[in-house]
Structure 1
């Protein structure tokens, strides 16, 4: 099969106070005609950064990204992107939103209208051409995003968690329609690369699942070929076996991982870019710690998810949070409390706060907020100050989630308070 995208020795890092902050290191990847590739990983694994490198939106620090054998020197004209948060222009109609990419390429009005109407019909948006984004549901907005990407008939469709902002039923419906189009032969693109953190979604959609790991930089941990015919039966033994294999790889820890190439080394101290906070509340991670303690401190995550009636993906943020705080260790699909985690889970409210504060206070974002307040004015600091700093490393949606988690953790630890009305952080006491 023809290789449409080829990634060779890609590294990506950002300049920081502690030197180069590694995000990706030593990535080798190809995307071939006729396949769907899923980039799967937890927060901080660099999967969205890799997708943007494939799109030519950000350049690699070293290595190359090539489209049909030619290294990219800017935006990839053979690819189009679908974003998690729709990214529609609210003052334009559905038709005008779909035409935007063609207009930017200089396509004449009559031709771009014809192409846009064709894409709108393909994606099931007939009748909504004159509607504005505010009139549409989340699912319909994402359909506009699909139509806008497909109207240019790109070789490769790049999708960054396209279903994660939707409710469960809408996401399921759109996934099914996407696969039906792909299988029908009417899809105007030759390959798809989709970023996801959902293991089942990756195995359901992809012909190949590429698992990225972090700690302390993003690398390809493993690649799984998915030979199952479509439509795929979630209850089939082969499907379940693949889910389990991918899950154990994603939640396990690499032993003896090689150092990254090109002299890139992880910083001696955790960094803001390299240590994202998982989307886990204090109540959620505390609850998991208590459950682990009742299981004598160690449990298989697959067994625990079955016991609780949850998807594995629902537990991963809480697991990541416990591990980041030093309260748990993950290996081979098992999670076990550390001594600090056992003490945290067994303590009363007052003592648990002290234990939590000691651990959370060492995390880069929470340490940044606390230290800035200690050294700042008595009136505290506006949230916008921290948003601007985080914006160098995260998307706007990720910035919001990072600050929400930091605020929850910092308040519980009594490291600082937050006035939501005035969007201002202050020191407690």
Structure 2
């Protein structure tokens, strides 16, 4: 397999034309998860797909696998319209998705059995795939007897044994420790480069920018709400690539800049829209992580401004941890992000220099000013007679904007952030949100007077 970018004249393996996917909210409003996606994957290329939460990466992958249908547009595989699953498309999942009661050999044979391949041929091909992926001698082992890396090798062997034209990899290395993930990624690239598989094309959905640059010939970046392709980056370097080379680092910086630019966040840019939209997808960021990043940013060697890849290395965080935390800092205006750099705002520097009790007050003030959901909860609490509302009430309001599981995730974050900022309290036993006790006491005293 050529190590250079596949030429645009290469035959198309799969084509998406105007693909859209809609979900219906609790108030019967249609909202797009994906909108107008055009994408062609060609023979001889590895393509990586990046995008934040809400960009529809996994939904798009499942549409390409034939597991989910489109609401608009079409998918063509080998020139024919795709309707349901198809032989020639295989998928590797983040969760390994092995049957725990089956041996390695039996798990790998499953896809062949579904295709009606006879027993003798299944055995031969499964043994060859297990050997190819470095698990020779473990044929009779059960998944529980294997490490995470070995279990993912089984998942890859199960996909490869069917000799697919298109291999889809959904965060395939993210559940593994860094070293195991890198080793398995490099072995996959060796198999690809040596032409030891019949795979024509690989699509990797990832949250790891460096992984995308090291593996792919082309990187596709999705915007969010709804998911659209907003940028494509060609990777012009032959494999294997040196992650420390100036050119590779520059490309990693470029992709970080694209991933954190306002356009990557879709029409609802945080600084503008979060103030008026309670359904904004809050980034999955922990308060302690946000504060640790801000503290690191304000100290030596950064002194208030850092290159995001450098900050990730210094903090020991993955992109999946770093980028949401940086977005959250930007949301509450403790930092700004420009061209792949994060910069502490004057308020962020003040926050860094402030003691924990005062930090909470400052954080609460920023929530009320810049996070619509937090301000909405606080306002509803102030308008009730007893200063309390149930989380189910807020959840129903959120489900007018978000799918139920996403609404629950966003509300959980808003509760954690609001409790830290002391703008409201929450009882895990009763599921009730309340005004802070001191304010309730003041209100009661005022009423008695």
CA RMSD after TM alignment: 4.1
Q: How high is the TM-score relative to the length of structure 1?
A: 0.80
- How far 1:173 moved relative to its partner? 0.8
Distance 1:404 1:96, change over 3 A: farther
Secondary structure at the aligned position of 2:123 is classed as helix
- How far 1:242 moved relative to its partner? 1.5
Secondary structure at the aligned position of 1:254 is classed as helix
| 1:244 has 2:250 as partner | no
Unaligned runs of 5+ in 2: 1-9, 382-386, 438-449
Q: Which residue of 2 aligns with 1:27?
A: 37
Secondary structure at the aligned position of 1:175 is classed as helix
Largest Rg, 1 or 2: 2
Secondary structure at the aligned position of 1:320 is classed as helix
Q: 1:228 aligns with which of 219, 233, 237?
A: 237
- How far 1:358 moved relative to its partner? 5.8
Whole-Å Cα distance in 1 between the matches of residues 172 and 402 of structure 2? 21
Q: Which residue of 1 aligns with 2:193?
A: 183
Q: Which residue of 1 aligns with 2:330?
A: 323
What does 1:285-324 align with in structure 2 at a 5 Å threshold?
A: 285-292=290-297, 299-302=305-308, 305=311, 308=314, 310=316, 313=319, 315-324=322-331
Whole-Å Cα distance in 1 between the matches of residues 145 and 265 of structure 2? 53
Q: How high is the TM-score relative to the length of structure 2?
A: 0.77
Mean CA deviation greater in 96-105 or 147-156: 96-105
What does 1:57-206 align with in structure 2 at a 5 Å threshold?
A: 57-206=67-216
Distance 1:294 1:115, change over 3 A: closer
Secondary structure at the aligned position of 1:210 is classed as strand
Kindly indicate whether the alpha-carbon contact (under 8 Å) linking 1:8 and 1:64 is maintained by their aligned counterparts in 2.
Answer: yes
Kindly indicate whether the alpha-carbon contact (under 8 Å) linking 1:416 and 1:425 is maintained by their aligned counterparts in 2.
Answer: no
Which string of whole-angstrom CA distances, capped at 9 and with x for unpartnered residues, describes residues 307-355 of structure 1?
9365783632320222344544323223345677566555543443344
Q: How many residues align?
A: 408
Whole-Å Cα distance in 2 between the matches of residues 427 and 268 of structure 1? 21
Whole-Å Cα distance in 2 between the matches of residues 256 and 389 of structure 1? 20
- How far 1:399 moved relative to its partner? 9.7
Mean CA deviation greater in 286-295 or 242-251: 286-295
Whole-Å Cα distance in 2 between the matches of residues 365 and 268 of structure 1? 10
Distance 1:306 1:284, change over 3 A: closer
- How far 1:115 moved relative to its partner? 2.5
| 1:12 has 2:21 as partner | yes
Whole-Å Cα distance in 1 between the matches of residues 174 and 245 of structure 2? 25
